[in-house]
A and B are shown apart, each in its own frame.
Chain A
Amino acid sequence: MKIIVAGETKEFKEGLTIAELIELEEVETPQYVTVSLNDEFVESGAFNNTALSDGDNVEFLYFMGGGR
């Protein structure tokens, strides 16, 4: 199946979960990454049991912040 990851269309095996995608894509510091699936944000607790479908659009967003 084809999934659009950060704007790029890639081929993955059926039933791939968000957690597996994070590993395959070698996302740095995944604990600070917000994931959106078809423009909806996914809770990090749901990464393991959210399976992706053909045509899904996934984005990884780094938490960005700071303080003095």
Chain B
Amino acid sequence: MISLLKSDFDKIVAHAKNELPNEACGLIAGTANGDDKEIKKVYLLTNTDHSNEHFSLDPKEQLEAIKDMRANGLSPLGNWHSHPETPSRPSEEDKRLAYDSRASYLILSLMDEDNPVINSFHIEKLISQKEDLIIK
């Protein structure tokens, strides 16, 4: 199970809408106790691809975020990105480029802009599995 604060969810949605028509992305950090993860902070990063079909995180910003996590006693838990026009599930390319089997991959769909949908996935060896995500 993984939990996300409503305020952080709103932050992600606002940033993703702001970046439309392009995909938006970022990192998530918090605490983990076995399979129970609690997201305590979300990071809004630059999509260096500036594309509505692809995203890549900026390594410089990634490094800054990692340092901030450590300074705040948080662990990196994974990343998030938006799908401006497609459902909230990993694409083939998303799966192919998911190299960290311990990470949670959050995908926000803005297909219906007024009703954003977010899901969390565990991706390992090209197979994705939906995780229980609680927004509180």
Interfacial residues, chain A to chain B (CB-CB below 8 A): 7, 28-29, 32, 34, 36, 39, 41, 59, 61-68
Asked if B59 contacts A68 (CB within 8 A), the reply is: no
Set of chain B residues within 8 Å of A68, measured between Cβ atoms? 23, 53-54, 83, 85-86, 91, 93-94
B63 A61 Cβ-Cβ under 8 A: yes
Whether B79 and A64, one on each chain, are in contact in the complex, defined by CB atoms closer than 8 angstroms, is yes
CB distance from B71 to the nearest CB of A (A): 10
The reply to whether B55 and A59 contact each other, CB–CB distance below 8 Å, is: no
> From residue A6, how far is it (CB to closest CB) to chain B in Å?
8
Please give, as numbers and ranges, the residues of chain B lying within 8 Å of A61 by CB-CB distance.
59, 62-63, 66
Query: A-B contact count, CB below 8 Å?
Result: 68
Among A62, A66, A68, max chain B CB count under 10 A is at: A66
| Contact code string B56-79 (vs A, CB < 8 Å = 1, else 0) | 110110110010001000000001
Dominant secondary structure at the B interface:
mixed
- Contact: A67 with B63, CB < 8 Å? no
A residues near B81, Cβ cutoff 8 Å: 66
Once the chains are docked, how many angstroms separate the CA of A62 from the CA of B60? 12
Residue on B nearest A33 in the bound complex, by CB: B99
- Counting chain B residues whose Cβ lies within 8 A of the other chain, the interface size class is 20 to 34
15 cross-chain CB contacts under 8 A? A7-B70, A36-B59, A59-B66, A63-B57, A64-B25, A64-B62, A64-B79, A65-B25, A66-B54, A66-B55, A66-B90, A67-B91, A67-B97, A68-B54, A68-B91
Tell me whether B59 and A34 are in contact (CB under 8 A). yes
Check if A65 sits within 8 Å of B56, measured CB to CB: yes
In the complex, chain B residues whose CB is within 8 Å of the CB of A41? 59-60
CA distance A68 to B107 in the complex (A): 11
Nearest CB in chain B to that of A29: its residue: B99
Given A29-B99, A63-B97, 8 other A-B contacts at CB below 8 A?
Answer: A36-B59, A36-B63, A41-B60, A62-B103, A63-B57, A64-B79, A67-B93, A68-B86
